[in-house]
């Protein structure tokens, strides 16, 4: 089986709303680049995130060493200790969606596998990133999950979102960016996705949102909430930089079909008002929510759109509790809850 692809072995990408064994996160470092000058201010958001997730499933936290583990345990003193597990997986930055493994499932044993792609810090935007690039393999080894080598394909988990039925959505601005896989054509990239993720259909959107240093990850704009339904963010201010790109993406979505020929159902999410810090546009988005077993973590920004976004997700996930958490400090790191998390599917 060594020379066969994951797809040929029967593996495929499950939907995020399917049952999880655990959620993985990587604890941020004071020395990291993600929260310059505001590290202490962002830690309460991480604590609230872990507390909400622990009510839903196991939380597996990557730390560098025993000293960091003790420090994080003290911060999580109000979280049931049996709901949190620590792993000595050093990382440079906390964005586990992108440096963590992509977990795949299949019907035959072993039912779970992890794919390890190349991580190059979103086109060499931050250094160092050597620990982040090694994290996927270390996570898989830590929980004894078979590891699939993704070769030299540069890829981040936040660049796609799937419906668990063979379809993913992505953006041209990210996956076709020459700072990722410059020698691969669009067709070659699609083949990699089909082979390694076990998907049959790739739906392409255009650009991401302003301020997103990932070159337009789709998890900031459009997310599957069921097999045939996506939510997508829309900007109402015609003078905002996001207005036209999001309008174009919306039009594409309205014309898309699923593998069975049925139309894609599209629900609208608002965008919060433009946020800036130190003159920099921040990629604040309600689309960067995370779907856990019992809860959905919703980033909020003390904005009039907060309640609207919560109501849309309540409709989309009637069986889950929507947990709004203020992300005005977190977004200074240019990401929110989906960027910070990586689900490990439950396989029985």
The residues annotated as belonging to the active site are 339
What do you get for the CA distance between the two ends of the chain, in Å?
23
Which stretch of DSSP H or E encloses residue 251?
A: helix 243-255
Q: Does residue 170 contact residue 203 with C-beta atoms inside 8 Å?
A: yes
CA distance 257 to 201: 10
CA distance 110 to 221: 34
Tokens 């946020």 appear where?
275
Beta strands in 172-228 (DSSP E): 201-205, 222-226
3-class DSSP state of 131: helix
- Nearest by Cα to 335 from 231, 220, 247, 221: 220
340: which residues sit within 8 A by CB, 6+ positions away? Answer: 25, 26, 46, 49, 94, 95, 96, 97, 290
Longest CA–CA separation in the chain, Å: 54
Tokens 């997508």 appear where?
232
- Helix 66-75 with 39-54: angle, nearest 10 deg: 70
- Nearest by Cα to 16 from 301, 292, 202, 204: 292
- Residue 272 DSSP one-character state: P
Q: Does residue 264 contact residue 258 with C-beta atoms inside 8 Å?
A: yes
């Amino acid at each position: 089986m060594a020379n066969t692809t994951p797809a040929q072995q029967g593996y495929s990408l499950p939907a995020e709303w399917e049952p999880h064994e655990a959620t993985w996160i990587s604890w941020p470092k004071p020395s990291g680049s993600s929260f310059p000058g505001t590290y202490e201010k962002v830690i309460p958001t991480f604590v609230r995130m872990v507390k909400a997730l622990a009510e839903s499933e196991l939380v597996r936290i990557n730390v560098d060493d025993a000293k960091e583990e003790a420090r994080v345990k003290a911060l999580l003193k109000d979280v049931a200790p049996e709901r949190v597990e620590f792993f000595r997986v050093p990382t440079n930055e906390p964005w586990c969606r992108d440096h963590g493994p992509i977990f795949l499932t299949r019907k035959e044993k072993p039912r779970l596998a992890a794919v390890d792609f190349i991580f190059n810090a979103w086109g060499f935007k931050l250094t160092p990133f050597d620990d982040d690039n090694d994290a996927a393999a270390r996570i898989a080894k830590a929980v004894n999950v078979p590891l699939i080598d993704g070769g030299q394909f540069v890829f981040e988990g936040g660049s796609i979102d799937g419906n668990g039925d063979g379809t993913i959505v992505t953006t041209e601005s990210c996956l076709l960016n020459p700072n990722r896989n410059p020698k691969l054509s669009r067709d070659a990239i699609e083949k990699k996705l089909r082979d390694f993720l076990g998907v049959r259909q790739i739906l392409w959107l255009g650009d991401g949102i302003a301020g997103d240093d990932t070159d337009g990850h789709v998890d900031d704009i459009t997310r599957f909430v069921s097999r045939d339904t996506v939510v997508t963010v829309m900007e109402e201010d015609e003078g905002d930089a996001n207005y036209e790109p999001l309008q174009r993406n919306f039009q594409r979505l309205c014309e898309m079909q699923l593998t069975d020929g049925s139309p894609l159902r599209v629900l609208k999410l608002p965008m919060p008002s433009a946020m800036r810090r130190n003159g920099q546009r921040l990629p604040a988005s309600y689309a960067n929510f995370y779907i856990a077993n019992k809860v959905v973590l919703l980033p909020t920004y003390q904005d009039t759109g907060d309640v609207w976004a919560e109501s849309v997700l309540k409709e989309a996930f009637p069986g889950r509790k929507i947990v709004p958490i203020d992300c005005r400090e977190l977004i200074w790191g240019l990401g929110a809850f989906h960027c910070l998390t990586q689900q490990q599917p439950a396989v029985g």
